[in-house]
Amino acid sequence: MTDSSPLVLKTQPIPGVCLLTLNRPEARNALSDALRKALSQAVALAGEEPDLRVIVITGEGESFAAGADLKEIASDDPVAIRRRRVLSLWQQIASCPLPIIAAVRGHALGGGCELALHADIIVAADDAVFGQPEVRVGVMPGGGATQRLIRAIGKYRAMKLVLTGEPITGEQAAQWGLASESLASEKVLERALELAAHIAKLPPLAVQSAKEAMLAGADAALATGLLLERRMFEGLFATDDQKEGMAAFAEKRAPNFKGQ
């Protein structure tokens, strides 16, 4: 990659699907400040495009993202670290209304693993490497792993990853619930795009409402989550897509969803 190359490549390989590719292959897509900002901005902009339905994030070359760029932060003090605004940049991804699919090949370590944890679906290579090795360099995860891992895979597996710094494979990640599925590395992006294409054909308001209800309800009391789900379910009966979907089902034809 040359200095003029974009840090995040944006393409639209399938109608309704935005593919964002981290583009620092010479550094195994290590998450520099500039790369984080570029990705955050790309996701935020994609979320506002009316014709987009799904975002797929992957890495150029042999890695998804091999963690933070330690060369940038090794000499920082607490104030300098705070000014990097990592959590606010990640929040742009966490709050994106569109479903996000992470296509993970190679290394997803530290911040790279945390980035994957911000996705709604993770398609991993069998031989991908997931881990939180921060303790090995004298710190701890700082981009959400201590909270998101416990919610994804439970206390004891999360503690093992964070406290030992030992990695696991993509196959094991799928067994633990850290990935949605795992398969051969050369098929990962194809599978992620296949899933994205399938979701992109579904009614976008229903898809986005389901995502919002699941994420908001996960941190709420069960009764609160169920009430939120019911209200959003009821609200979808005001959409044209609900009328079209149920009419198409009754008439045994393919629906034509328009996001209205």
Interatomic CA distance for residues 11 and 21, integer angstroms = 8
Q: Position of tokens 């290590």?
A: 30
Among 38, 42, 65, 68, the one annotated catalytic: 68
238 noted as active-site residue: no
Q: Pull the structure tokens for residue 208.
A: 């986005």
Provide the 8-state DSSP code for 96.
-
Spatial neighbors of 221 by CB under 8 A, at least 6 apart, are: none
Provide the 8-state DSSP code for 194.
H
Among 60, 124, 134, 179, the one annotated catalytic: 134
Among 47, 65, 108, 114, the one annotated catalytic: 114
Backbone phi and psi for residue 77, each to the nearest 5 degrees, phi listed first: -100, 175
Q: Encode burial over 179-189: b for 16+ CB neighbours within 10 A, e otherwise.
A: bbbbbebeebb
68 noted as active-site residue: yes
For the four alpha carbons of 150, 151, 157 and 162, in that order, the dihedral sign comes to: negative
114 noted as active-site residue: yes
Backbone phi and psi for residue 212, each to the nearest 5 degrees, phi listed first: -60, -45
72 noted as active-site residue: no
Among 67, 111, 170, 245, the one annotated catalytic: 111
Interatomic CA distance for residues 209 and 174, integer angstroms = 26
Q: Pull the structure tokens for residue 26.
A: 């010479």
Indicate the length of the chain as a whole number. Answer: 260
Interatomic CA distance for residues 39 and 247, integer angstroms = 40
> Can you point out the beta strands (E) in 86-218?
100-104, 107-109, 121-125, 129-131, 168-169, 181-183
Active-site residue set: 68, 111, 114, 134
